[in-house]
Amino acid sequence: MGKNLSIATISLLLVLASTNAEQVFDVKSYGAKPNADITQALTKAWKAACAVAGSKVVISTGAYKLGLVTLLGPCKGAIEFNLQGTLQAPSDVASFNGKDGWVIFERIDGLTVSGGGVFDGNGQLAWEKNDCNKQKNCNQLPINIRFDYVTNSIVQDITSKDSKFFHINLFECKKLQFQHVTITAPADSPNTDGIHMGHSSQITITNANIGTGDDCISIGDGNQDVSANQVTCGPGHGISIGSLGKYENEQPVSGIRVTGATLSNTDNGVRIKTWPSSPSGVASDIHFEDIVMNNVGNPIIIDQNYCPNNQCSNKSPSKVKISNVSFKKIRGTSSTKEAVKLICSESVPCQQVVLSDIDLAYKGGGGSTTSSCANVKPAVSGKQNPPACINKL
């Protein structure tokens, strides 16, 4: 009898432990109401949840207004941000007081962001004021969701909509996974990169659906060990490494793998871009494989003379060294005649570049696709349409 009792007691303790394992902090308990501003309610709920081990902040279905909020760790244990409703950012940029983020997750280990909800950046007014194409040092507009110093975390089943600037930005993150994330903004929304990352490592993006006004994914300096699998991109500017070499002391980029992507009606396909007249830098071990292009401009491109809106000096070549790069099993249609463009630096030519099984047809009338190369001798195998390096620049 005593033995059975002890088993029953242990079972009860386990049940209690599991119920205590995740305490729920619903923002409604802190005064949140649909169609009203919940900035204070969310801040209080987060603070309370962060102070206990194993907690969940819940924002249930409905639309809520939310101002700038920093959800700060470290927390006592794992914490979940469960958004089922829609958060609406202020449309007026002035209310952010020059800050560059709207919802900021900072210094958290063991974060889950989930729930199927929407971060609506209300970016339409901000896009009209964006002058970054004219000025190098333009006003910083708020990013929809920032992850700063976030580790061992997962972001799944959420949507970022109409961000004023980048949708999702990673800085100094490690072991962060994105699954089933949707990002949406019009093709003409400026600088609305889908997922941008800097100085981060062990990042995985799986089954993302990204349509926006800039790069679907952009990988800046200091990133190591990044994989993107089954990403759908379009509209947008493609999937990009860089731009690199804009600033002094940039950190190397290495270990990047993009597989199983589909790009439709994008300005570019898969690309590596570096600025001319740049300080020294390194980009290596970068691989693009099994990618479908549907009516894509510049499907395969290395551009070491990247200089949008003539905002830079072309006086000297880029000093960012690109090596060990492969483009494999890339097929579909190009909206530009020049489907493969490998324009490398005169001062540090690209090395170990591989083109394997390329089949890109020209979508327009009048002839087939072409290719051009400068300062690179790619290793070629399998089908080559267009033939590699038709035009040597």
Catalytically annotated residues: 214, 237
Identify the CA nearest to 199 among candidates 165, 152, 234, 150: 150
**∠ CA 313-349-277, rounded to 5°:** 15
Distance between CA 95 and CA 76 in Å, rounded?
Answer: 32
Place of tokens 């070491």: 304
Identify the CA nearest to 240 among candidates 160, 164, 303: 303
How many CB atoms within 10 Å of residue 35? Answer: 10
Structural contact between residues 94 and 119, judged by C-beta atoms closer than 8 angstroms: no
Write the CB contacts of 57 (distance below 8 Å, at least 6 apart in sequence): 25, 27, 42, 45, 46, 49, 79, 80, 81, 82
Identify the CA nearest to 170 among candidates 143, 146, 205, 203: 146
Structural contact between residues 350 and 377, judged by C-beta atoms closer than 8 angstroms: no
Distance between CA 155 and CA 207 in Å, rounded?
Answer: 12
Pairing outcome for strands 253-259 and 270-274: unpaired
Query: Could you write out the DSSP letters of every residue in 135-149?
Result: -TTPPPPPEEEEEEE
3-state secondary structure of 7: helix
Segment 132-140 long-range contacts (CB within 8 Å, at least 24 positions apart): 132/190, 132/191, 133/190, 133/308, 133/309, 134/309, 136/311, 139/93, 139/98, 140/98, 140/100, 140/165
Distance between CA 119 and CA 101 in Å, rounded?
Answer: 12
Q: Percent helix, strand and coil across the chain, each rounded to 5?
A: 10, 45, 40
Give 240's strand partners. 218, 271
